[in-house]
Chain A
Amino acid sequence: MRRERRRHNVSYIKKFFDFCGEKERKQFYFSIFLGVFHALFVAMRIPAVFVVVKAILEGGLSKQTAYSAAGIICASIVLQTLVSLKTTMLQTRGGYHTSSIKRMEIAEHLRYVPMGYFNTEGLGKVTSIATNTMDNLAGIATRCVMVVTKGIITTLVIIASMFFFKAEIALVALATMAVYLLGTELMIRAESKTSDKATTAQDTMVSRILEYVRGIAEVRNFNLFGRSITSVDDSIDAFTTYSTHLETTYEIAMFLLSSLNKISGVVMMLMSIAFYLNGSMSLVYAVMMMICSFMIFESLDQVGAFNGLTRTIENCVDKANEALSSPTMDIDGKNITPENMTLTVRNVDFSYDTKKIIDNVSFEIPEKTTAAFVGPSGGGKTTITQLLARFWDIDKGQIHLGGTDIREYSYDSLMKNFAFVFQNVYLFNDTIENNIRFGKPDASREEVIQAAKAACCHDFITALPDGYDTVIGEGGASLSGGERQRISIARAIMKNAPIIILDEATANVDPENENLLMQAVASLTREKTVIMIAHRLKTVENADQIFVIDRGKIVQHGRHTELMNEDGIYKRFIGERKEAAGWKISSRA
């Protein structure tokens, strides 16, 4: 009758406890220990009934009998309440603390993950784990584990107390419980193949649905709905088929197992009658046994009811562990102030996913010069600039800042020297002022305004109804792409770092205000060491050195005029840029 999937009680419960922290695990264990007493107090209704039944069958029914029975029940209620006051809090604390500690672990872990590891998809996944999954962990998973352990313990306690009445009957009950648990285990093993297929079908379905949703514009544009090419309906049907098949098998098996419980109850009842008839058990005991046989498997059935949620527990634990398993790097070096800002790269190799991205690259960027990286997309120019600021650790070679290997710096003391302007602007859901101040947390408002002015932000900020107090993000002001970009530049200006790493905007974000953006970049880069992924001809032309990167190697190096005299990627690149900038669209191509 009950739902099962993949694993049975014991294995996932163990997994859950292994996953919890030391302190929380102890809280859970203590609460399970108290659970035994709770079960005993719940079972006190049996002695209460016993008092009455005994009085009825052996004579001597009196008001006293009623008072005793009522007294025992009242005591049972009071004691149950007292114990569960403690266990509820233990479990609540255990559950919510486990989830908040895991959240913190994930957050802490991210500090040590190489920056390069973060891409939108990976971050989305981690975010979902740290929010939804952890919510489920605190709520459903904890409750499920507790109900299951409590159910098993309660059943065991009742069986144990039955031994006082008649060992033979208690043994039958014990055997039934063993068969029940073993049976579910066997059934799950037998069905593990279908279960795996159902899981795969589900994964396929989820990715197809996601694809459908993400590509909804294309689905409509090309009338893909209902066409087999998206396969989304098929994947839904496949999942439905496997799940139904799986559940049907489980249903039949669980129906049988559950019937076993009921039959065993009947057997216990018949045994009681037989023992009474052959005189080896008194009538009172026989009646008590019959009552017990009614309630004996109640808790076990509750255990079954919660098995449907076992997958939630497994999912929670697996996903959290996955988030914590991404590779980390050692960022706790010394606090070093570099002697100068010269960057030296020697024989650097770097691979990602076994694919070599950077292949034996060496160069030097002297202090206060500008280096421009150009080349085809996917050639490795972004990766090189990332390696300079240790977004990744290199496989081979050395990168030095001011003569010291960047791995010797503590991460924060290394980062002090860099300011970044990323292609994808991220602003916090906070006021504009605080977003700019993020570059220098102790800056005064005056300083913030100075930075904003330098980045050509001041005018549009003061034009907003709340000015610098305008909150960016949901429910706040919606800024144009160019405005956001300039705020991110103001933030970088605020930081006033000696080295600027700049992924030059592709100039399409805010066409009307391109000039302002260029002015902002000029203020940021004045008198600094500048490393840029360049797209604009002008910036490339003015660079002190240009590196042309292709397939992980420096294929050309020099100044604009030098490179224009060479046949190569650079000259072709410049030509194409000029052509692209002059492109005119017409109906007569």
Chain B
Amino acid sequence: MQIGILWMLRYAFHGFSTYSSHGATFGLIGNARKKLLKKLNTMPLGAVQARSSGEYKNIICDRADQVEPTLAHVVPEFTANIIGAIAMFIYMMHIDWRVGLWQLICIPAGLIAFAVMMASTPKYYPNTIKKTKALNAATVEYIGGIEVIKAFGQSKTSYGKFVKAAKEGADCFIDWMQSQNFWQNFGMACFPATMLGLLPSGVFYCLNGSLAPADLIVLIILSFGTVAPLVTVFGYADDMSRIGEIVSDMADVMDEKDMVRPSVSKNKPRSFAISLQNVRFSYKDTEILHSISMEIADGTVNALVGPSGSGKSTIARLIASLWDVDSGAITIGGVNIKDMPLSVYNRYVAYVSQENYLFDKSVMDNIRMGREGATDEEVMEAAKKCGCHDFIMSLANGYQTICGGSGGHLSGGERQRISIARAMLKDAPIVILDEATSYTDPESEAVIQNALSRLTAGKTLIVIAHRLSTIADADKIFLIHDGNIEASGTQQELLQASPLYRSMWENHIAARKEEA
């Protein structure tokens, strides 16, 4: 009878805890997802982009899903099983503590087997990690490079390499399993064998009269109740360790340094002049910018030029507040950009490059993202202003054309012009233009340039320039070299003062002659 009650209690507890943990788990996962997404919004953009979108999908979608069965089932079952087992065990100890202990003799045996098994882990585990990594790398190379592989007629050789990696990737696990095969299975057989100690000891105690035979039968039945949950728990040990791994992946993202910003602005910028004072910035322990100072006047055209890797793009990203400076300060109209909330600051700056992303929504909605609550008329107005209206109207569904992969086939140039219209609608007083990467589509370069001209008119403009002729009329050109400002001034001034600029200009002219 007592057995029945204990059993019912455990069962009811189990049912209740699993049931209640479900709502909680889904809520928890949903919140974790939202928190991760929010985190991406507050950490430095550069740090966000250090991981691929595939990695984020893995962490935010796939991995989070994998937590669900474990959290919702394993945790309550784990607790229910353990609590049940402990209750049973206490009751058994109450009936006869000697038999209660004897039944546990199988546990040391099982543990020893598992200990031996685990001892081989350091020998085999690193190898599986190595081989798995090698296999994944081989896969990425083979598939990513398939175009090159086939074009160079190397598909047989490369396939051979891949096959070798795939075989090794499987064999290392098989070898590992082989090495621990005996101990694992022996342990698995020993662990639940409580009868091994219970039956003989119980019989002996019955024979010497210190245990009532009826009690022995009760003990046998109870022992079955103890073993089953323990085995179940054992089966979950793996899942429990996996959850740790998953959570640590998420924690890695959550632990990234945030950009510290106040929730409300202390001061409003007096103008849209930009000033950098002794700005230093390092990436992965390498200092990229060495104490840079520069002044950009309100409403002027400014260009950052310099060899690739000089740090000109980094300066632009710092001004756009995509990264934080290590030391020094960037101010807009006298206000340190760190004293403005990102949401406020973002209104002041439009960053235009070829990577401008369109969402899988209509052209209308994509442009509207530029300003919350803009009317259809305002959207069209912006499109007209930058010369996009006509081409949008010529699309089969006009402004309702869907921009994403599922929608019409917009060309690179068309997508780019829509993103310029979006920036137009935003009407930010500061525009940062990454010219070097802004033409994906040479056939539509001229129209894009037109749109850009209209977008940038009257703004404080910073161009990361590639073609020196483009910025010949700029109010100020900053020549960046090895993380320092080598020279600054108008083109004429630079041509006279800077040998580096002069040689770049000559190079450029030579290339243009080739072209024109």
Contacts and interface: CB of A to CB of B under 8 A. Distances in A.
- SS of B interface (majority): helix
With a 10 A CB-CB cut-off, give which of A57, A220, A576 has the most chain B CB atoms. Answer: A220
A298 B228 contact: yes
A586 B359 CA distance: 30
A309 B206 CA distance: 47
B153 A412 contact: yes
B370 interface: yes
Interface in B467-484: 467, 469-475
Nearest to A323: B143
A181 interface: no
Interface string A374-387: 01111000000000
B26 A578 contact: no
Interface stretch (B274-282, B332-340, B405-413): B405-413
Given A218-B357, A578-B516, A305 B213 contact: no
Interface string A465-500: 000000000000000111000000001000100000
Interface string B391-429: 000000000000011000101110000000010001000
Interface stretch (A12-20, A183-191, A230-238, A340-348): A230-238
Given A66-B200, A511-B466, A214 B150 contact: no
Interface stretch (B263-271, B375-383, B502-510): B502-510
A105 to B, nearest CB: 10
Contacts of A354: none
A232 B56 CA distance: 14
A305 B217 contact: no
A103 B38 CA distance: 36
Given A45-B193, A221-B350, A581-B512, A1 B14 contact: yes
B48 A216 contact: yes
B18 A69 contact: no
A515 B510 CA distance: 8
Interface string A211-225: 111111111111111
B72 interface: yes
A491 B412 CA distance: 28
Give the interface residue-count category, chain B. 35 or more
Contact of B206 (A61, A89, A130, A218): A61
Nearest to B55: A213
A62 interface: yes
B309 interface: yes
A441 interface: yes
A107 B368 CA distance: 44
B199 A52 contact: yes
A508 B437 contact: yes
Interface residues of A, number: 159
Interface string B291-326: 000000001110000011100000000000010000
A108 interface: yes
A405 interface: no
B514 interface: yes
Given A2-B73, A584-B470, A538 B514 contact: yes
A107 B159 contact: yes
Contact of A225 (B41, B53, B163, B412): B41
Contact of A583 (B152, B224, B454, B470): B470
Interface string B449-464: 1001110111101010
B196 A74 contact: yes
Nearest to A501: B151
Contacts of A588: 457
A70 to B, nearest CB: 5
With a 10 A CB-CB cut-off, give which of B72, B140, B473, B507 has the most chain A CB atoms. Answer: B140
A73 B193 contact: yes
A543 to B, nearest CB: 15
Interface string A236-264: 11011001100110011001001000100
Interface stretch (A121-129, A157-165, A361-369, A524-532): A121-129
A277 interface: no
B189 interface: yes
A188 to B, nearest CB: 16
A215 B186 contact: no
Contacts of A586: 301, 473-474
Contacts of B77: 305
B308 A244 contact: no
Nearest to A224: B369
A342 B19 CA distance: 73
Interface string B55-69: 011101110010011
Contact of A3 (B69, B132, B359, B411): B69
Contact of B196 (A70, A206, A536): A70
Contact of A110 (B146, B203, B368, B440): B146
Interface string B155-181: 111010011001101110110011001
Given A52-B216, A217-B45, A508-B439, A377 B369 contact: no
Sort A-B residue pairs by CB-CB distance and give the 10 closest, nearest first: A308-B69, A215-B357, A69-B199, A96-B170, A66-B203, A100-B170, A66-B200, A240-B30, A589-B453, A589-B457
18 contacts: A56-B216, A66-B203, A77-B186, A77-B196, A85-B181, A89-B177, A217-B355, A236-B30, A239-B30, A244-B22, A252-B19, A266-B4, A287-B217, A377-B412, A415-B152, A482-B308, A515-B511, A579-B446
